[in-house]
Amino acid sequence: MNTGWKHLALSIVALPCLLAVPGVTAAEDYPAKPVRLMVGFSPGSATDVITRIVTSALSAKFGQPFVVENRPGANGLLAANAVAKAKADGYTLLVSNSSAMTVNPLLYKDAQYSTLKDFIPITTVVEGSFIVTTNPANPRTASVATFNDLIALAKDKPGMLTYGSAGTGNLGHLGVELLGDKAGITMIHVPYRATTMAQTALLAGEVDFNFDTPSSIAQIRAGRLKALAVTMPKRWAELPDAPAIAEFYPGFDVSFWFGFFTPAGTPESVVRTLNQEIIAATNQASVREQLARQGGILTLSPEAFAAKIGAELAQNAALIRRANIKID
């Protein structure tokens, strides 16, 4: 397992030092040339869409191109590894998600980065929620009308309920493991290669429930899937009747986020400028309207973002150990 999580406390303490490293780029001169943003996922993915919404506003603000470069592969590893080695001057940024930044370094041997050692977190932009979904046409879960019904069924049939995810170690997988810990239940994990494949399996009755992404809303509204709960700390406006799991198990939070990063050592003035202007962009009405379709808008200071990452790395590392999750 990568040793990045072992240096968690040290990395968080070191963040002010990372921010304070002097550089030749001053905030008043930044940006003086185009800024490259690397996205480790394909065009049209949620990470890509969010990046383009925000960078359009940044380009208009600064009068410099903010150029999106897609480098998909290995759940965001390729882009993250590239940016970690880039010059720390604010002209090469990473836009990534919680899975790539708080799971990959713990599981993948070819993750050559430590999130809090090799990057400065700038800010989150959007926070999304998994949705606990079942198929109302599945006879195995016919008795499940509420989240509590699902828990009761899992307790009545220990180790028999199945759930799908986008792969071993995926946040959806870890989320169900956390639920199992909180509720004292065990379920069978069925990994697929993508979220869409796991959703198709649920619709086909191959699995009994999922921690699905917001892409399932169309199926929920069509009545083909039923939303039992959301995994973020509070209810989501898009599904107001679906309770948060935290209402039953206080402190439960398996939300996922999309955020901006710069290589460690980037001048503090540049980090602060980027933080302020990205937050300002999210406050524009047109930008907020577009981002709200991807989840709840969430912006943080670099220090608060680092603390959030640290807490998630610690939680995920503990879950991975307890569940003995390994990637070959």
281 and 264 both lie in a single domain: yes
Domain boundary, last residue among 247, 265, 283 = 247
Residue 260 pLDDT: 98
| Amino acid identity at 72 | P
Domain boundary, last residue among 183, 213, 247 = 247
| 92: CATH | 3.40.190.150
Tokens standing for 144?
């499940």
298 and 207 both lie in a single domain: no
Q: What angle do CA 137, 248, 136 make, to 5 degrees?
A: 5
Residue 15 pLDDT: 55
56 and 114 both lie in a single domain: yes
121: left (phi over 0), alpha (psi -120 to 50) or beta: beta
Mean pLDDT of the chain: 90
Please report whether residue 103 resides in a domain. yes
Place of tokens 């995810």: 165
Within 13 Å, how many C-alpha atoms sit on residue 187's CB side?
A: 29
Give residue 205's domain range: 131-247
Residue in 161, 147, 234, 163 with CA at minimum distance from that of residue 195: 163
Grouping H, G, I as helix, E, B as strand and the rest as coil, residue 63 is coil
Low-confidence ranges of the chain (pLDDT < 50): 1-14, 16-17, 20-25
183 and 34 both lie in a single domain: no
Alpha-carbon distance of 201 to 204, in angstroms, equals 5
Domains in the chain: how many in total? Answer: 2
Q: What is the pTM of this model?
A: 0.79
227 and 136 both lie in a single domain: yes
Please report whether residue 328 resides in a domain. no
**209-212/131-134 β-pairing:** antiparallel
12 and 54 both lie in a single domain: yes
**Could you read off the pLDDT of 286-306 as tens digits, one per residue?**
999 999 888 889 999 999 999
Residue 6 pLDDT: 44
Phi/psi for 266 (5° steps) reads: -60, 135
Domain boundary, last residue among 247, 271, 302 = 247
Alpha-carbon distance of 258 to 269, in angstroms, equals 22
| 165: CATH | 3.40.190.10
Please report whether residue 31 resides in a domain. yes
225 and 259 both lie in a single domain: no
Tokens standing for 214?
């917001």
Residue 24 pLDDT: 44
Residue 1 pLDDT: 47
Residue 149 pLDDT: 98
Place of tokens 């065990």: 186
| Amino acid identity at 123 | T
236 and 260 both lie in a single domain: no
Alpha-carbon distance of 62 to 52, in angstroms, equals 15
